[in-house]
Structure 1
Amino acid sequence: MIERISHVTVLVRDYDEALDFYTNKLGFEKAEDSKMPSGDRWLTVSPKQGRDVQIVLQKPGKATFGDLTEEMLGRIGQGTAWAFKVDDCKKTCDELAKRGVKILSPPQDFGFAIEAMFADLYGNPYILMQPPAGRK
């Protein structure tokens, strides 16, 4: 049976620029970085306090996608609807903006959570979610 989500993938144009963004702008840590037998790179990052799920930074290539490579390259910047839990949505938005991260929507209180949205270097949108006080 399925136990849990361990990895999620975001398509990238360049491994090193993606690694730089996710580590230096978002404050994530590099979890894994190795060469696969196909010659592709296995590169993952995760939040410092959330290593149970890793984000695979994947550059579409022939070894992985074959004839679909061009189509997958066209999908860069069009994915994700992931939510990252934060303790203070406004403070996190302010810090990310100082680091040059594009904030798509400022923090808004929806009752069930305070949420904001930002984009990575390719335009992929992500949600910052602050649960109500007393909820984790």
Structure 2
Amino acid sequence: MPHIGLVSLVVADYDDAIDFYVNKVGFELIEDTDLGDGKRWVIVGPRGARESRLLLAQASGETQTAAIGNQTGGRVGFFLNTDDFARDHALMKKAGVQFLEEPRYEPYGTVAVFADLYDNKWDLLELKAS
């Protein structure tokens, strides 16, 4: 298998999620296709990324709605790699992204946890060169 193409993220509202990921995190909107009956195929991802991207899936029904913001049971479930932690951390903070901690310097690299608009936890991570 060459790579994971999409990871589905259950959201409450397509447009709010697009706004957060594009205007605050700095992703690009790759596709937004109307599928009818209120459903859309919405893909966002880091600018220039060719592999893993997010499929924003608006919740349908009680079970999916209950999963919004807790898809990984409160753990960090998503990892956003960067080649310049200081730059991206500053840009995201300026855009209003809520970081849950100050940057940490771990044996594997520099990291800080942030929450998306639904309180899903993400790591912003710059890995050390090996």
**TM over 0.5, yes or no?**
yes
**Who is 1:70 aligned against?**
62
Higher RCO by CA contacts (8 Å cutoff, separation 6 or greater): 2
What is the distance in 2 between the residues matched to 1:8 and 1:26?
A: 17
Residue 74 of structure 1 aligns with an amino acid whose one-letter code is A
Look up the SS of the partner of 2:4 in the other structure. coil
8 Å CA contact 2:59, 2:68 repeated in 1: no
Runs of 5+ consecutive residues of structure 1 not aligned to the other structure: 62-68
**Who is 2:115 aligned against?**
119
| TM superposition score normalised by structure 2 | 0.88
Paired residue for 1:95, among 91, 95, 98? 91
What is the distance in 1 between the residues matched to 2:68 and 2:18?
A: 15
Displaced runs of 4 or more, over 6 A? none
Alpha-carbon shift at residue 38 of structure 1 (Å): 5.7
Identity level (%): 34
Q: Select the structure that is richer in helix.
A: 1
Alpha-carbon shift at residue 47 of structure 1 (Å): 0.4
Tell me if 1:20 matches 2:19.
yes
Q: Select the structure that is richer in strand.
A: 2
> Which of 1 and 2 has greater Rg?
1
**Who is 2:8 aligned against?**
9
Residue 18 of structure 2 aligns with an amino acid whose one-letter code is L
Look up the SS of the partner of 1:118 in the other structure. strand
Runs of 5+ consecutive residues of structure 2 not aligned to the other structure: none
- For these two proteins, the number of residue pairs brought into alignment is 126
